[in-house]
Amino acid sequence: MISKIKEKNPLIHNITNYVTVNGVANALISLGASPVMADSEFEVSDIVSISNALVINIGTLNERVLKSMIKAGIRANELGLPVVLDPVGAGASLYRTQAVFELLKSIKFSLIRLNISEAKTLINQTSTTNGVDASQSDLNADLSSAISVAKNISEKFNTITVISGKSDIITNGKNIAICDNGHEMMSKITGSGCMLSAVLGAFMCVGDTFETAVHGVSAYGICGERAFDKLGDNGNATYATLLIDELAFVSDDDVVKFGKIRHI
């Protein structure tokens, strides 16, 4: 699947947040895709029309960009393109939560990538999100309850769900995989989740399936492990750069050899 991304060089339209936009663009380039960041409602339909996938990230949400997201998502659905949602901080504010449900009502998403606190918000369970991060209490919940939340989202919205955490959960409502690739250092940099959502958008271009999502999550986690192995005495900023570097080198064979995937 990674080799297909490099061969196809898919154009990924990102309506994303300005905190992590540079990292997202570089991650996609490193993987072998091409990023475009366009969020004006006057051009998003045109940009979607020449793209291979759309990734919507609500990290820095406002009314202007919300209109653009809905317009772009509707056009992507019309064209049959994969659409990924990263509902950053859902549950942190009433406005943000209402915006997420407006997006879910207006757009059919191929994949939703989020943390456990955001996930609980999507199925109207009480969550205690810590700003844009999952709360410690939600993170401490047992894996089986998180799996149940993921399945609920997939069934409710007819989508592939990826809940990121110490163990990543991937499900389409029927099949479930747990991926243990990755490193805790990934949670110490801004944008690791945003980059994963964009990377999964690229993977969806070469196979809009549960198996593709599992492959993409594992590949990204392997990059996180290798970045830490090379970190030495350096800090967070170096780690972010190393993570992006590793996306250029990870292969399908690496996923087969080093993927820590459990199907349950």
Q: Is 133 exposed, middle or buried (0-12, 13-18, 19+ CB in 10 A)?
A: middle
- β-bridge pairing 53-57 and 83-86: parallel
Residue 168 DSSP SS3: strand
For residue 101, what are its two tokens?
Answer: 């449900």
Spatial distance between the Cα atoms of 53 and 11, rounded to a whole number of angstroms? 7
pTM here is 0.91
37 labelled ligand-binding: yes
- Model pLDDT, residue 207: 85
| Contact status, residue 162 vs residue 250, Cβ threshold 8 Å | no
Q: Which of 112, 66, 62, 114 is nearest to 90 (CA)?
A: 114
Convert the pLDDT of each residue in 83-141 to its tens digit: 999 999 999 999 999 999 999 999 999 999 999 999 999 998 655 555 554 444 445 56
- Model pLDDT, residue 142: 81
- β-bridge pairing 176-179 and 168-171: antiparallel
113 labelled ligand-binding: yes
Four-residue CA torsion sign, 172, 174, 180, 185 = positive
Point out which residues pair with 239 in neighbouring strands.
Answer: none
* CA angle at 16 for the pair 203 and 216, rounded to the nearest 5°: 20
- Model pLDDT, residue 126: 55
- Model pLDDT, residue 25: 98
262 labelled ligand-binding: no
Q: Which of 21, 200, 218 is nearest to 111 (CA)?
A: 200
Q: Topology of 2-263 in CATH?
A: UDP-N-acetylmuramoyl-L-alanine:D-glutamate ligase (3.40.1190)
Q: How many CA atoms lie within 13 A of 188 on its CB side?
A: 14
For residue 34, what are its two tokens?
Answer: 């091409």
185 labelled ligand-binding: no
Query: Residue ranges per domain, the chain?
Result: 2-263
Residues (pLDDT < 50) of the chain are: 133-138
- Model pLDDT, residue 51: 98
